[in-house]
A and B are shown apart, each in its own frame.
Chain A
Amino acid sequence: MAAWAERLAGVRGVLLDISGVLYDSGAGGGAAIAGSVEAVARLKRSPLKVRFCTNESQKSRRELVGLLQRLGFNISEGEVTAPAPATCQILKERGLRPHLLVHDGVRSEFDDIDVSNPNCVVIADAGESFSYKNMNRAFQVLMELENPVLISLGKGRYYKETSGLMLDVGAYMKALEYACGIEAEVVGKPSPEFFKSALQAIGVEAHQAVMIGDDIVGDVGGAQKCGMRALQVRTGKFRPSDEHHPEVKADGYVDNLAEAVDLLLQHMDK
Chain B
Amino acid sequence: MAARRALKAVLVDLNGTLHIEDAAVPGAQEALKRLRAASVMVRFVTNTTKESKQDLLERLKKLEFDISEDEIFTSLTAARNLVEQKQVRPMLLIDDRALPDFTGVQTGDPNAVVIGLAPEHFHYQLLNQAFRLLLDGAPLIAIHKARYYKRKDGLALGPGPFVTALEYATDTKAIVVGKPEKTFFLEALRDTGCAPEEAVMIGDDCRDDVGGAQNTGMLGILVKTGKYRAADEEKINPPPYLTCESFPHAVDHILQNLL
Report A's interface with B, CB cutoff 8 A: 127-132, 135-136, 139-140, 143, 157-158, 164-168, 170-172, 174-179, 181
Contact = CB atoms under 8 A, between A and B. Distances in A.
Contacts of B170: 157
B155 A139 contact: yes
B160 A171 contact: no
Interface of B: 119-120, 122-125, 127-128, 131-132, 135, 147-148, 154-158, 160-162, 164-171
Contact of B169 (A136, A143, A168, A179): A168
Contact of B125 (A128, A170, A175): A128
Contacts, number: 78
Given A136-B156, A175-B164, A167 B123 contact: no
Contact of B165 (A140, A164, A175): A175
Contacts of A175: 157, 161-162, 164-165
Given A171-B169, A174-B164, A174-B165, A179 B131 contact: no
- Which secondary structure dominates chain A's binding surface? helix
A170 B169 contact: yes
Considering residues A127, A179, A181, which has the most beta carbons from chain B within 10 angstroms of its beta carbon? Answer: A179
Given A130-B124, A157-B168, A174-B164, A167 B131 contact: yes
Given A132-B157, A175-B157, 18 more contacts: A136-B156, A139-B148, A158-B131, A158-B135, A165-B131, A167-B127, A167-B128, A170-B168, A170-B169, A171-B166, A171-B168, A172-B165, A174-B161, A175-B162, A175-B165, A179-B157, A179-B158, A181-B147
A172 B151 CA distance: 22
B135 to A, nearest CB: 7
A166 B128 CA distance: 6
B124 A131 contact: yes
Contacts of B127: 130, 167
B124 A164 contact: no
A189 B123 CA distance: 26
Given A165-B135, A167-B127, A179-B147, A157 B157 contact: no
A179 B165 contact: no
